[in-house]
Structure 1
């Protein structure tokens, strides 16, 4: 018996991911509920983290790379006084401290964690080492020496400070680990620390206010879920938009350079639409666009 392939359905569904669920599980449930052929996501969230997980369906999966570099915003709480194996509350405590920082002390060091910084990922992360995931090696008890990686931190703000905790908001680029920020803040302040609660409030054009609850994702809510889909071009807001001529659109859909109206820089990545909707993502070449990703809508 032939396997059912699923429906041709395209767009973005913003999910407000709960704690205790993996990003992969969210994508799988959305795909099942909508009976979609293809699904993926833009930016993994840790299982214990909550908030925005944008799920791409069908042709929208071709736009994921367009928002890889988009800024993301996190609201998180740091517990002072202990460092853990995972840099969050799910890990085992490995070091403790009786020192606690004041709000003024915390605020004073935040400039050192903004702008272009170097960050060492947590041992329990998806970073690959010789082809293997760091978290797999860490679970096997291996001592890992992960290399520092550059991270752009647009802003890091102290929201409130208590006796043993502090709440922050951070806006950063791709590849950022909030758990590393908590760990490094704790070390820098001499008090040690780990993430207690982490929530992504927005990611590029996707906001938690548009998110659907994970518990409401079901085959019985399929029609409602479809009404919540955002168009695939939602992910293309940072790219210049050009218009294809009728003949240009035909050529582009066949994988050839096609004529467009509008202007961009030579070689600039753009997206092209016609009267029927999005046509492609491609490179502008002075009056034409060479397609790199063609949409089959």
Structure 2
């Protein structure tokens, strides 16, 4: 006989507002422990440097994760002009510097070229596999390699804030497989500038959004009050 999984047979979705600094696997483990669930998974990796919507499936909901792979997503991110990094985020090593600061009008004029079905090359620091190894591992080891571009779809892109000349905030709605860091890299290149993503927040994955998301602190409080079920969405939510 197979070994029974520990935990309870709890089923449903948790729309977690993942905090900065926490990986997706770490977030799933935290939620699984809180609910003492016997099975858990997530619908769409979110990097530690990003916050926002991470749909976590518990129990029978894990059988509906596949339906979320094609779901539309929404992101809000900030580009910091002046410095580009090898990972296109604030933790990477500097690889370029420029005094060019694109205006809001220039950014708005450039964005339409990135809307629709486009060819996008993933960043070198990504989970894409190259000959069986993760690209980010090869990049960290200084190995030279090339990543092929692939078709992705960006449904809309608009400037939503520009707090100062060094930063611009953009909100996008996308299909699957879009890398925000690649968009930031390519937009900076198109504008003759250097830049990197200094902030990233996922706003939506299909039916899951910041409007129905919960924090780990909120879930912890529910568990302490024996009201954990209040933090669960129905299994069928992924089918909406």
> Is TM (by shorter chain) over 0.5?
yes
For the residue of structure 1 that corresponds to 2:178, the secondary structure is coil
Aligned mates of 2:137, 2:228 — CA distance in 1:
35
Aligned mates of 1:127, 1:218 — CA distance in 2:
34
Count of aligned residue pairs for this structure pair: 236
Q: Which residue of the partner structure matches residue 216 of structure 2?
A: 214
**Alpha carbons 1:33, 1:219 under 8 Å: kept:** no
Gaps of 5+ in 1: 238-297
Q: Which one is further off, 205-214 or 66-75?
A: 205-214
Aligned mates of 2:119, 2:39 — CA distance in 1:
35
Q: Which residue of the partner structure matches residue 110 of structure 1?
A: 111
Q: Could you tell me the TM-score, scaled by structure 2's length?
A: 0.94
Q: Which residue of the partner structure matches residue 140 of structure 2?
A: 139
Give the alignment's Cα RMSD to 1 decimal: 1.6
- Which structure's relative contact order is higher, taking Cα pairs within 8 Å and 6+ residues apart? 2
Q: What displacement does 1:218 show?
A: 3.8
1:54-98 alpha-carbon deviations (Å, 9 max, x no partner): 000011011011121111110110001111011111111111111
Q: Which residue of the partner structure matches residue 197 of structure 2?
A: 195
Aligned mates of 1:65, 1:193 — CA distance in 2:
35
1:17-38 alpha-carbon deviations (Å, 9 max, x no partner): 0110000000001111111111
Aligned mates of 2:71, 2:222 — CA distance in 1:
33
Q: What displacement does 1:192 show?
A: 1.5
Q: What displacement does 1:216 show?
A: 3.9
1:78 aligns with 2:84: no
Q: 1:96 to 1:229 in 2, by over 3 A?
A: same
Gaps of 5+ in 2: none
Q: Which residue of the partner structure matches residue 51 of structure 2?
A: 50
Q: Which residue of the partner structure matches residue 169 of structure 2?
A: 167
For the residue of structure 1 that corresponds to 2:227, the secondary structure is helix
Q: What displacement does 1:142 show?
A: 1.2
1:130 aligns with 2:131: yes
Aligned mates of 1:77, 1:198 — CA distance in 2:
7
Q: 1:52 to 1:220 in 2, by over 3 A?
A: closer
1:119-155 alpha-carbon deviations (Å, 9 max, x no partner): 1111111111111111111111112311111111000
For the residue of structure 2 that corresponds to 1:212, the secondary structure is coil
1:235 aligns with 2:217: no
